[in-house]
């Protein structure tokens, strides 16, 4: 790892050595062999590189997904589609193989390194950068970027140890999630000062905190399949089915994380937002009512608790019965109609009393960022500032859980790295 001498210069400076910056550096380094631009410098504010890659996928790094489509992302899907087309999953797998990282597919379609260790991925990326002659500089936080004027084209980059002159710059500073990793949102400020807009940023892929007065604590650790519906101003904006995890603070799990961006965006804009669960995905209230009536007829003396335990884990059955104001011991045939109807609503349209999201320290990504409309999707170059490129999470695009955010980082990194070297 290098320390830059005062007043150094380079052809390409990449700011941020996360997934997108490392990918950009590698593709630029490879393209440099065929380009008259040669010197590439990768700067990062963190003392040790790759914090986020290391924690990703529960320490296993979910590198990508076996099927990637624009609908796995939020943002301008027309542009996202064009970007994704530049680097297929097949090519991504080959790229990792070429760096000595074999990937395996899990049942869910997620791809992980065979080693099950994020470290394998991080080491391969950093080693490849070094071998390609990229100057890698941790502990070089960038404070300002000035555009050169007149004869002095390019950029002046003021970092923790001095100034670097660069003909071109790739901004790969990530978003705001896990600020202590170094991605604290300052990159947006750098983008703004260079003339770019930044759409409002809110946490995405984040767990949600529930009102302490409900039962979530008693269910902590329990997972169940649910259908989540998010409404904003009474209008449905998202419906998805998947696994919900009850926790000591509220709700998490893939379906909650994926839906959280809609909740956070609405809250960020002070719009009334509600998230409902159907704990019997695919079943309508009418179907559930029918089932209850059949149960009451066939097993009139069976308790409500036992009746519901046929459909749900006992802990959940007990909690929801109590929450609905019913008695678990009541014989199913004796359940007053009003109580039964209320219980059915609780089972099929349960309104989560969400207090807040869990915040940037727990969010996996950022929704919002530099608008894709300000970027040339063929090159990732800014339409406003020639020679400036954007890659990864700093852009206004966020993917759902499953390896999609890394795929976005690799793909945008590849496009920018190659085009900054004038090789496409
Ligand atoms: P990233 O944030 O990774 O890197 C930005 C870099 O820029 C940082 O190293 C930072 O230090 C540096 N930087 C910032 N400002 C700077 C400045 N002013 N000067 C110099 N350097 C600066 N995705 C996925 O696809 N599969 C997964 O398994 C997971 N798992 C996961 C788990 C957890 C806990 C989190 C938090 C996130 C994930 N993700 C994920 C999301 C994924 O990690 C994320 O989308 C990418 O890391 C984004 O890559 P970037 O390179 O754009 O930003």
pLDDT, residue 396, reads 98
CA dihedral in degrees (240, 241, 243, 246; nearest 10)? 70
Whether residue 220 has pLDDT greater than 70: yes
Ligand 1 atom with minimal separation from the 16 CA: 7
Mean pLDDT of the 180-207 span: 97
Of 31-35, 63-67, 192-196, 384-388, the one with minimum mean pLDDT is 31-35
CB 386 within 8 A of CB 420: no
Whether residue 8 has pLDDT greater than 90: no
Tens digits of per-residue pLDDT, 110-127? Answer: 999 999 999 999 999 999
The mean pLDDT value of the chain amounts to 96
How many residues are listed for the chain in this entry? Answer: 424
Ligand 1 atom with minimal separation from the 394 CA: 52
Of 35-49, 77-91, 254-268, 403-417, the one with minimum mean pLDDT is 35-49
pLDDT, residue 4, reads 77
Q: How would residue 190 be classed by pLDDT, with cut points 50, 70 and 90?
A: very high
Mean pLDDT of the 124-135 span: 97
pLDDT, residue 36, reads 73
CA 209/CA 358 separation, integer angstroms? 6
The Å distance, Cα 328 to ligand 1 centre, comes to: 47
pLDDT, residue 177, reads 96
CA distances from residue 173 to 11, 184, 343, 347, 389 in whole angstroms, order as listed: 19, 9, 48, 43, 11
Among protein residues, the one with the nearest Cα to ligand 1's atom 37 is 364
The Å distance, Cα 9 to ligand 1 centre, comes to: 26
367 lines ligand 1 (CB under 6 A): no
92 lines ligand 1 (CB under 6 A): no
* Mutation test residue for ligand 1: of 20, 56, 179, the one with most atoms within 8 Å of CB: 56
Ligand 1 atom with minimal separation from the 178 CA: 36
Tens digits of per-residue pLDDT, 28-64? Answer: 999 998 777 789 999 999 999 999 999 999 999 999 9
% of residues, the chain, pLDDT over 90: 94
pLDDT, residue 194, reads 97
Mean pLDDT of the 314-326 span: 96
45 lines ligand 1 (CB under 6 A): yes
pLDDT, residue 424, reads 60
Angle between helices 51-59 and 118-131 (to 10 degrees): 150
Whether residue 27 has pLDDT greater than 90: yes
Rounded to two decimals, what is the model's pTM? 0.96
Mean pLDDT of the 226-255 span: 98
pLDDT, residue 263, reads 98
* Mutation test residue for ligand 1: of 173, 412, 414, the one with most atoms within 8 Å of CB: 173
Q: How would residue 422 be classed by pLDDT, with cut points 50, 70 and 90?
A: confident
Among protein residues, the one with the nearest Cα to ligand 1's atom 18 is 142
% of residues, the chain, pLDDT over 70: 98
């Amino acid at each position: 790892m290098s320390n830059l001498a005062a007043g150094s210069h380079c052809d390409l400076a990449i700011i941020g050595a996360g997934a997108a910056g490392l990918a950009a550096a590698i593709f630029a380094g490879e393209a440099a062999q065929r380009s008259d631009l040669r010197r590439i410098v990768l700067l990062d504010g963190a003392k040790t590189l790759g914090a986020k890659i290391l924690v990703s996928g529960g320490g296993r790094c979910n590198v990508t997904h076996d099927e990637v489509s624009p609908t796995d992302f939020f943002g301008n899907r027309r542009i996202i589609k064009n970007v994704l087309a530049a680097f297929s999953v097949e090519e991504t797998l080959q790229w990792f193989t070429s760096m000595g990282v074999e990937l395996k597919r899990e049942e869910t379609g997620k791809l992980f390194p065979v080693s099950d260790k994020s470290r394998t991925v991080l080491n391969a990326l950093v080693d490849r950068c070094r071998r390609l002659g990229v100057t890698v500089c941790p502990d070089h936080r960038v404070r300002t970027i000035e555009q050169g004027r007149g004869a002095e084209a390019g950029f002046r980059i003021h970092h923790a140890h001095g100034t670097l002159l660069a003909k071109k710059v790739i901004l790969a500073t990530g978003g705001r999630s896990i600020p202590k990793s170094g991605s604290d949102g300052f990159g947006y400020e750098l983008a703004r000062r260079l003339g770019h807009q930044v759409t409002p940023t809110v946490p995405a892929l984040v767990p949600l905190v529930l009102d302490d007065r409900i039962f979530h604590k008693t269910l902590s650790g329990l997972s169940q399949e649910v259908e989540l519906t998010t409404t904003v101003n009474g209008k449905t904006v998202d419906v998805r089915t998947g696994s919900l995890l009850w926790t000591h603070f509220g709700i998490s799990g893939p379906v909650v994380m994926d839906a959280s961006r809609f909740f956070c965006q609405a809250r960020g804009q002070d719009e009334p937002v509600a998230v409902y669960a159907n704990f019997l995905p695919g079943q309508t209230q009418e179907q559930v009512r029918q089932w209850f009536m059949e149960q009451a007829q066939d097993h009139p003396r069976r308790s409500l608790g036992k009746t519901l335990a046929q459909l749900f884990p006992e802990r959940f059955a007990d909690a929801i019965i109590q929450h609905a104001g019913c008695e678990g011991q009541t014989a199913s045939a004796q359940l007053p109609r009003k109580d039964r109807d209320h219980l059915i609503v609780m089972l099929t349209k349960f309104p989560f009393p969400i207090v807040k999201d869990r915040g940037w320290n727990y969010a996996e990504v950022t929704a919002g960022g530099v608008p894709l409309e300000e970027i040339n999707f063929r090159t990732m170059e800014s339409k406003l500032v020639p020679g400036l490129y954007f890659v990864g999470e700093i852009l206004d695009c966020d993917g759902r859980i499953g390896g999609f955010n890394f795929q976005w980082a690799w793909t945008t990194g590849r496009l920018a790295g190659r085009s900054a070297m004038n090789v496409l």
